[in-house]
Amino acid sequence: MMKTFYMYVLTYRGGAWSDPKARFAEACFEDHSFPKNSSNFEELSLYIEMHGDDLLTIATFDELWELYVEKYNL
Protein backbone atom coordinates (compact mmCIF):
# COMPACT_ATOMS: atom_id res chain seq x y z
CA MET A 1 0.00 0.00 0.00
CA MET A 2 1.30 3.44 -0.91
CA LYS A 3 1.97 5.85 1.92
CA THR A 4 1.49 9.58 1.72
CA PHE A 5 4.68 11.55 1.18
CA TYR A 6 4.55 12.65 4.83
CA MET A 7 4.36 9.05 6.10
CA TYR A 8 7.26 8.11 3.83
CA VAL A 9 9.36 11.04 5.08
CA LEU A 10 8.75 10.06 8.70
CA THR A 11 10.70 6.85 8.08
CA TYR A 12 13.82 9.07 8.15
CA ARG A 13 13.07 10.44 11.65
CA GLY A 14 15.64 9.54 14.26
CA GLY A 15 18.47 9.34 11.78
CA ALA A 16 21.82 11.07 12.22
CA TRP A 17 21.39 14.85 12.51
CA SER A 18 24.12 15.16 9.87
CA ASP A 19 21.66 13.61 7.36
CA PRO A 20 19.54 16.34 5.71
CA LYS A 21 16.75 13.78 5.17
CA ALA A 22 16.53 13.14 8.94
CA ARG A 23 16.45 16.88 9.64
CA PHE A 24 13.75 17.35 6.98
CA ALA A 25 11.69 14.53 8.53
CA GLU A 26 11.93 16.10 11.96
CA ALA A 27 10.89 19.49 10.57
CA CYS A 28 7.86 17.90 8.84
CA PHE A 29 6.87 16.20 12.07
CA GLU A 30 7.13 19.43 14.05
CA ASP A 31 5.23 21.45 11.40
CA HIS A 32 1.57 20.96 12.28
CA SER A 33 0.38 22.60 9.06
CA PHE A 34 2.46 20.38 6.72
CA PRO A 35 0.11 18.78 4.14
CA LYS A 36 0.20 15.34 5.77
CA ASN A 37 -2.40 13.71 3.52
CA SER A 38 -0.91 14.83 0.22
CA SER A 39 1.07 12.93 -2.36
CA ASN A 40 0.78 15.73 -4.91
CA PHE A 41 4.16 17.10 -6.03
CA GLU A 42 2.87 20.57 -6.88
CA GLU A 43 1.05 21.02 -3.57
CA LEU A 44 4.01 19.80 -1.54
CA SER A 45 6.69 21.74 -3.40
CA LEU A 46 4.65 24.94 -3.21
CA TYR A 47 4.19 24.44 0.53
CA ILE A 48 7.93 24.00 1.03
CA GLU A 49 8.75 27.00 -1.16
CA MET A 50 6.38 29.12 0.95
CA HIS A 51 7.16 27.67 4.42
CA GLY A 52 10.63 26.19 4.08
CA ASP A 53 13.56 27.01 6.33
CA ASP A 54 17.05 25.70 7.07
CA LEU A 55 15.68 22.21 7.76
CA LEU A 56 12.74 22.09 5.37
CA THR A 57 14.64 22.78 2.15
CA ILE A 58 13.55 22.37 -1.44
CA ALA A 59 16.80 20.52 -2.27
CA THR A 60 16.10 17.86 0.36
CA PHE A 61 12.45 17.71 -0.70
CA ASP A 62 13.55 17.01 -4.29
CA GLU A 63 15.85 14.22 -3.13
CA LEU A 64 13.16 12.67 -0.92
CA TRP A 65 10.55 13.02 -3.65
CA GLU A 66 12.75 11.07 -6.08
CA LEU A 67 13.20 8.30 -3.49
CA TYR A 68 9.47 8.29 -2.82
CA VAL A 69 8.65 8.02 -6.54
CA GLU A 70 11.14 5.16 -6.95
CA LYS A 71 9.81 3.26 -3.93
CA TYR A 72 6.17 3.43 -5.04
CA ASN A 73 6.78 3.35 -8.81
CA LEU A 74 4.91 6.62 -9.35
pLDDT digits (tens, 9 = 90+) for 7-66: 999 999 999 999 999 999 999 999 999 999 999 999 999 999 999 999 999 999 999 999
By residue count, the chain amounts to 74
Nearest to 57 by CA among 31, 21, 7: 21
pLDDT of amino acid 2: 78
For 36, residues 6+ apart whose C-beta sits below 8 A from its C-beta are: 4, 6, 7
What confidence score (pLDDT) does residue 42 get? 97
User: Does the structure show a pLDDT above 80 at 1?
Assistant: no
- Domains detected in the chain: 5-72 (1.10.150.260)
pLDDT computed for residue 74 by the predictor: 87
Q: What is the reported pLDDT for 56?
A: 95
Q: Which pLDDT score is estimated for 62? A: 98
Q: What does the alpha-carbon distance between residue 52 and residue 25 come to, in Å, rounded to a whole number? A: 13
Residues contacting 48, CB < 8 A, separation 6+:
56, 57, 58, 61
